[in-house]
Chains A and B, each alone.
Chain A
Amino acid sequence: MGRVWCALAWALVGGACVGSYDPGLEPSRDDGVGVAGVSSDEPPPPRGEPFDPVRPELAGARAKVFLTTLALDEDERAALAKDGAAALPGLVDRWLALPQARRRLEVFFATTFQQRQLTIAAFDEAFRATLGGWADGEKERFLRSLEASFARTAVAIALEGRPFTETLTTRTFVLNTPLAVLLAYLDAAPRRDDGDPDENGFWLLREARGVPFRLVHAKRDDDRIPFEESIDPSSPRFMHFSFRESYQDRCRDGATERGPLAVPRVFGALFGDRVGCEAEPSVFSEADWNDWRPVTVRAPRKGERRSVFWDVPALRDARELVLATPRVGFFTTPAFFANWPTNESNDHRVTANQTLIVALGRSFDGRDVTFRVQDAQSRAGEHTRAGSACVACHRTLEPTRELIRQSYTVTHFQRLDLGRDRVPAEATFGFDGAEARRGRGVGDLASALADHPRFAVAWSVRLCQALTANRCLDDDPEIVRIARAFSAANHDFRVLLREVVRSPVTTHAAPTATTDSEGVVVAVADRDALCARLETRLGVGDVCDLAGASQLGGEARDRARHLAMALPGFGYARGDDALLPPHDAGLFFAAGTVKLCEALAEAAVDGSTDARFRATSDAAADVNPVLAKMVHELIGVPSGDERAGAVRDVLARHRAAARVAGASTVLALRSTFVVACAAAPSVSFGL
């Protein structure tokens, strides 16, 4: 398929880029190594060797841990042993009803819709913002909210059985109050491509008739200006925000800002920013950060007033935002934009390419294809003009990004004047053989992508790869069948999940075109998956401190975070159209998992009644249930599994040997915990 795609891309660009593509070269896919076995340089299995089928219980265990982080229960194991993969669709429905499934899907969608990996610097760059002065903790909460918002939106679409194409076309997003404020602010303070304020769009400024933003030094606590007064247009202190501390001389006299620059100041002030002076508490409560609900973004009707970003009381519990800025699907969220900041040179090409990768699993310039730019850039922009060497490379990319340019400037605000900015009024999206569609703006791009035949294939492949940690071929008859079933079910994600999980392409119960070509791998659990697994199984919130909210204390918390960061993650990279989880059990994975388990041993095992694994005495009556719990809950071996007894015996011998070596009851059980926690089935997918 790599070769087919390569040839297709070559045909698309028609050889216009100066000939460096050598059709005689092996297309990379990627690097031409059919990975089979486990080590990345492991040779594929010898030809003619019979397929080694995987037991259905293991396939089920892998699916359950993928969906919920939980180990297979004994009744589930028994059902799988009896009915094989036929039991899986029913089990998937059961697992999807568990609260852990929602959390796992959120992480999966945050990754696959490329809403994660955010930094303050990236957000500032994308939106010309300055989050640096916000109150302590607010920046982190803000970034984590940005990352979570569309993932929650996608989970709602998936679990309610709505067409999954709505992830492209929806105008309803799951938001909390601070994010509702953000969207309303971005609508009220537009910027041009060059980053300058587009004053025509500052409707709130016009309405406020030049009332300045004013920072006022409150010499006493009683002098603080209540927020209600700050946002009350009838108050003499409208748009006045106070600050208490003034360690710097320049802060003592306060500050005044007029015109367009006043609007971002007000936005920052809501989050505690006092423009270089000591930050104040933000106006958002813990409840505001957690009041997630679906909010529909719609354009104002004639004469209708838009949502006002500083009117926080009105935005609390709002189910609708009235904004002129179009928000549609995953690719117009602030998180997506902040992942892929563009500039006047790139001009939304990166936005268009990443949108295509997420929606259809394809890149305009796939990694299988290499084109050399050799005579480009004789003048600025010339390489994209008609007749120049690279124009064909842009034949599909340029029109697509125009659809984004029509709606957004490169600073990711609404574009207000197409003519002024020399943006065509209409553009075309045509890709990968689908009929070209003319349209205008991100709404039309979303519709074209949702109707594209590759959508179902892309998500079938994506889910298959996430479950197997290996490449899945989009022309594998099993993938084709799954994609058809997904389409026929009106793109119900639950149907896709059932079909993928029960298919031999992921159960490895029988050979498929994918396993013939790519082999079968057992994979390590990636960072998120392993940390989520430990969080659930140990009952310690954010156990690896990946969200900055670990329930562990002090040193253990820092160590857990650093060690978790040594584990391979499941992330995306710019231009990479094949999202594959890591699989290799290398040196640092082995060392990292043991160290992480050692760091968690104290939190997991002690003598208290609320300990996850309680060490009280050496009596068999006390020890055996704890060891059985480790075998089932930590290692993931159900009680009916023939290995369960033997594994428990090994752990028991370890505990006893540790006692003989002088360890206390608690220490001996902690050491036993580390073994169970770091054992291969505990830290892997598919064992």
Chain B
Amino acid sequence: MQSRRNLLQNLLFGTGGVGLRALATGLPAAFFTRGARADDAGDRRPQFLILSTSPSGDPINANAPGTYDDARVIHPREPELAATTLHLGETTVRAARVWTRLPERVRNRASFFHHATFTNNHPNLPKVLRLMGATKQQEMLPSAFAKALAPRLGTVQTEPVSIGAGDLLSFAGRSLPPLAPLALRDLLARDDSPLARLTELRARTLDEVHALVRERGTRAERAYLDRLSLSHRQARALGDSVRDLVRTIDGDDTHHQITAAVALVKMKVTPVAAIRISFGGDNHSDQDLSRREAPDHVSGVDHLVRLFALLDEHRLADDVTFASINVFGRTLRREGWKGRDHSANHHVTVMVGAHVRAGVIGGIVPRGDDYSAQDIDARTGRATPGGDVPLAESLSAMGKTLGAALGVPKDAVDAAVMGGREVTAALA
């Protein structure tokens, strides 16, 4: 049994003075420890999430593994979208050739989860991220997971950062401002100018000014000033570890969003970074599916290849899980070659990460003049009519499975997501 004094001493001076450094910088103590840790309870090692999300409803579902077994499903005619054999870990499937561009080590931890989002309306991406009413207090999934992951990862802030997802993300109900890659670059830039050399002096003076304002402030004013002062301290403590990486940013496009996301993870700023990788966008009038869908699939997969190469380079591949969740999928057949319409009934979430078991989860079934996702057997991951993950709960099941793959403790996942169940077949 430790005395309070011993406990305090260990907190402040133990492990290389982590506590003191945390006090000095305003950063959480876990920020200074190397890597994330698994809990004693046996939960998976926590992961950072790099999330690609878009309200456009990209046709990523239309050419994902699991859609090439039914010859009536329409795919672009370009060679890169032609059917081929794809190895996903121990699973062999028919899939678009473009997915073979992913290196084997990435494919060995890639899962294609077929489900529905139950909406065909662009503005409903925030609702889809709330699992269409199945999250507690209508909190967005990235927000709920961020709250669970931040203390375990020791990130500077709990809130997700939207690098390329616009201002659609919210945290505890408040819209999160986007942070473009160029802005991140200039925020982290350090120079050796005469003005920069006076930074510490200015920091102290700012604290003095704030103390003066605080003296007669109301409760809300004092809380605001405390928050701002803490943010200033944290900001000053960041940046050195990724200076070379962010220096390469010279645009706000997907390429640079990926760089910025990796930099934020490496700096342990946030547990969740949101970007936007296009796989064809809102392609209603994409004649022959050749103007948007086919080229964007090639560039989209290439962006993923680069993301994982960058994570490898920075030794983060085992610490980061990638997921792609859009507002809805698109019709697989109904509009023929004219382009694709919105589908409320089918969407594919792509997950890649250390705790993801490679393969295809669920599948499609003809419905009316198009297709729908199916019920799933959680143990095998196969599309199974009457499976223990009914279609109606497939979105929640995806959410719970992603939570588990991120290393969010099961009780936290269950508390955040109502309905559905973890699909163990998707978990390593």
Which residues of A does B touch, CB under 8 Å?
20-22, 25-28, 30-33, 35-42, 45, 49, 52-54, 343-345, 350, 353, 365, 367, 370, 372-374, 376-380, 382-383, 519-523, 559, 562-563, 565-569, 571, 573-576, 580, 582-592, 594-595, 598, 601, 635, 642-643, 646-647, 650-651, 653-654, 657-658, 661, 663-664, 667, 670-671, 674-675, 678-681, 684, 686-687
Contact = CB atoms under 8 A, between A and B. Distances in A.
B138 A582 contact: no
Contacts of B167: 569, 571, 573
Contact of B157 (A20, A370, A587, A684): A587
Contact of A646 (B133, B183, B212, B217): B212
A589 B184 CA distance: 11
B202 A566 contact: no
B208 interface: yes
Contacts of A575: 121-124
A679 B391 CA distance: 54
Given A521-B224, A650-B209, A584 B133 contact: no
B219 A41 contact: no
Interface in B157-187: 157-159, 161, 166-168, 170-175, 177, 179-180, 182-187
Interface stretch (B90-98, B316-324, B340-348): B340-348
Interface string B306-335: 000000000000000000000000010011
B218 A592 contact: no
B192 interface: no
A377 B120 contact: yes
Interface string B218-237: 11110111111001101100
B70 to A, nearest CB: 17
Contacts of B182: 562, 565
B8 interface: no
- Which of B140, B196, B219, B335 has the most A CB atoms < 10 Å from its CB? B219
A216 B205 CA distance: 66
Given A377-B344, A380-B341, A586-B159, A679 B209 contact: yes
B369 interface: yes
Nearest to A582: B177
A600 to B, nearest CB: 11
Nearest to B198: A671
A563 B182 CA distance: 8
Interface in B130-174: 130, 132-133, 137-140, 143, 147, 156-159, 161, 166-168, 170-174
B51 interface: no
- Which of B130, B177, B223, B370 has the most A CB atoms < 10 Å from its CB? B177
A20 B420 CA distance: 14
Contact of A26 (B124, B138, B202, B331): B138
The 7 A-B residue pairs whose C-beta atoms are closest, nearest first, are: A575-B123, A378-B368, A568-B177, A28-B138, A31-B173, A566-B183, A590-B231
Nearest to B140: A31
A565 B224 contact: no
Nearest to A565: B183
Given A31-B172, A382-B368, A566-B180, 4 more contacts: A344-B284, A573-B175, A586-B157, A671-B195
B55 interface: yes
B380 interface: no
Contacts of A38: 220, 223-224, 226-227
7 contacts: A33-B137, A38-B226, A377-B370, A379-B368, A383-B120, A575-B122, A595-B186
Contacts of A36: 220
A675 B170 CA distance: 31
Contacts of B354: none
A679 B228 CA distance: 10
B382 interface: no
Interface string B66-100: 00000000000000000000000000000000000
Contact of B368 (A20, A377, A520): A377
Given A28-B138, A380-B369, A591 B187 contact: yes
Contacts, number: 284
Nearest to A683: B228
Interface of B: 55, 116, 118-124, 126-127, 130, 132-133, 137-140, 143, 147, 156-159, 161, 166-168, 170-175, 177, 179-180, 182-187, 189, 194-198, 201-202, 205-206, 208-210, 212-213, 216-221, 223-228, 231-232, 234-235, 238, 269, 284-285, 331, 334-335, 341-345, 367-370, 391-392
A49 B425 CA distance: 51
Contact of B186 (A25, A563, A679): A563
Contacts of A22: 133
A372 B183 contact: no
Contacts of B285: 343
B227 A584 contact: yes
A376 B223 contact: no
Contacts of B119: 372-373
B270 to A, nearest CB: 9
A583 to B, nearest CB: 7
Given A33-B173, A566-B180, A594-B235, A671 B223 contact: no
B212 A647 contact: yes
A52 B139 contact: no
Contacts of A569: 167, 177
A367 B224 contact: no
B183 A37 contact: no
B173 A53 contact: no
A460 B70 CA distance: 56
Contacts of A37: 219-220, 223
A141 B165 CA distance: 27
Contacts of B198: 658, 661, 663, 667, 671
A376 B116 CA distance: 12
Given A520-B218, A594-B232, A595-B187, A377 B179 contact: no
A350 to B, nearest CB: 8
Contacts of B185: 562
B284 A343 contact: yes
A45 B269 CA distance: 28
B418 to A, nearest CB: 8
B210 A679 contact: yes
Contacts of B196: 598
A675 B220 contact: no
B213 A687 contact: yes
Contacts of A520: 218, 220
Contacts of A53: 218
Contacts of A562: 180, 182-183, 185-186
Contact of A345 (B55, B126, B168, B341): B341
